[in-house]
Every structure is written in C-alpha cells, then in structure tokens.
Amino acid sequence: MPQTLIYNGTLIDGNGGTPLPDAAILIDNDRITTVATSNTLPRHDAEITRIDAHKGYILPGLIDAHVHISMEVEDQRKMMATPFSLNFYKLIGYMRNTLDAGITTVRDAGGADVGIKQAVEQGLIAGPRMQISVNALTITGGHGDGWLPSGSEYRIWANHPGRPNGICDGIESVRQKARGCCGQVRKC
C-alpha cells in the first residue's frame, strides 16, 4: 500500500496537546508513522499520495455513537415505496457522506446487518468502522413496533434473515432476541 502524506494544516491530536501549525503526517499501511512540521519532515522518495490540507485542520477521525447508517430520513411514503434491495445501494452513499464528514467509526443503533459491516471490513464498499446492533429491541406497541391503528403495519427496516424482527416482550423474550441478534454480531 502506498504511503500518504497530509501536509499544510494545523494538527489537532485529539489528546489535548497544543495544536501544531504547518503539520505534516506520514501514513504508511493505514498507520501514522511520522508527525512533524512540513519543513522538518524527512524526505521520502517512495511513491506517495500527497494531500494538501490547504491551511485547514488535520484531526483524528470522529466517532458517532448513534447512527442508523442504512437510512436517511425522507418522506415515509417514499420510504414505503422503495424496493427492499435498493436500500442497500443507497447506504453506499450514506456511508460515503459519513466518511466525508470526518466520521471514521460509528455505533449503528439499528438497521445495519452483519453483511454491511463485513462489506466495509472486506473493502467491498467504503464506510466507517462499525459496531452494530442489527435491530433495535422493542416491546409490542413500542416505538419499533410497526402496528398502526388502521391495522396496517409499517416497518422502517424490513425484517430479513440478517435483520430479524426486534419485537420482544418479557425477560425471556428479550434474552432470546439478544442471543439471536447479538450472536451474529459477536461472530464478526
């Protein structure tokens, strides 16, 4: 993997250190190997990707601890009319937007399944590192239950083998659901 040099920016290290103006950061195999000012950085003749920070700020990737990476809020009628599989293609853009915002790690609080997490880990699609919940657990009649007074049912996320129904009532039912959903997550 080629090296990447990020330069011409002020480094905020995320540890409370004094910001370093005119910083240069050398990254090798996804690891920061050198941090210096641009004029003290050792010369590297290897093939290197250079990223000019344009006098902006260079900081560690951010963590968003509550996302639903598999959806963006839109008109619910449109969401109901969207074919199930199209949502997987749409989330590729959602994950790209997340990375472009500087967020490199997320805790998905419901919606993303193990396959989405593995697709990112295997480099099939670009996305943040993910801790996933698979589905939100909810009681019958709770905010995750799609029952409507009309008798119809509306689910934000369709149930499928990778994302089973999250409705559970009582201690034993919660245990069973947690073992099912969480068991998938632990195996990843």
Indicate the pLDDT class of residue 160, thresholds 50, 70 and 90.
Answer: confident
**Residue 11, token pair as written in the block:** 């480094």
Indicate the pLDDT class of residue 181, thresholds 50, 70 and 90.
Answer: low
More confident residue, 121 or 155: 121
Angle between helices 86-100 and 114-121 (to 10 degrees): 50
**Residue 53, token pair as written in the block:** 């920070």
pTM above 0.85, yes or no: no
For residue 5, the 8-state DSSP code is E
**Residue 175, token pair as written in the block:** 């245990």
Helices (DSSP H) in the chain: which residue ranges?
Answer: 76-81, 86-100, 114-121, 170-186
Indicate the pLDDT class of residue 188, thresholds 50, 70 and 90.
Answer: very low
Average pLDDT of span 139-154 = 82
My answer on whether 106 and 25 are in the same domain is no
Distance CA 178, CA 184 (A): 10
My answer on whether 142 and 165 are in the same domain is yes
Tally DSSP H helices, then E strands, for the chain: 4, 8
Q: Which domain holds residue 112?
A: 62-186
What is the domain-level CATH number for residue 47?
2.30.40.10
Distance CA 90, CA 12 (A): 33
Mean pLDDT of the chain: 87
Contact 76, 154 (CB under 8 A): yes
What is the domain-level CATH number for residue 76?
3.20.20.140
What is the count of structural domains for the chain? 2
My answer on whether 107 and 164 are in the same domain is yes
Can you give the pLDDT at residue 184? 52
My answer on whether 53 and 110 are in the same domain is no
Can you give the pLDDT at residue 3? 87
My answer on whether 43 and 13 are in the same domain is yes
Indicate the pLDDT class of residue 127, thresholds 50, 70 and 90.
Answer: very high
| Per-residue pLDDT tens digits for 83-112 | 888 989 999 999 999 999 999 999 998 889
My answer on whether 51 and 90 are in the same domain is no
Q: Cβ atoms within 10 A of the Cβ of 108, count?
A: 22
Average pLDDT of span 121-130 = 96
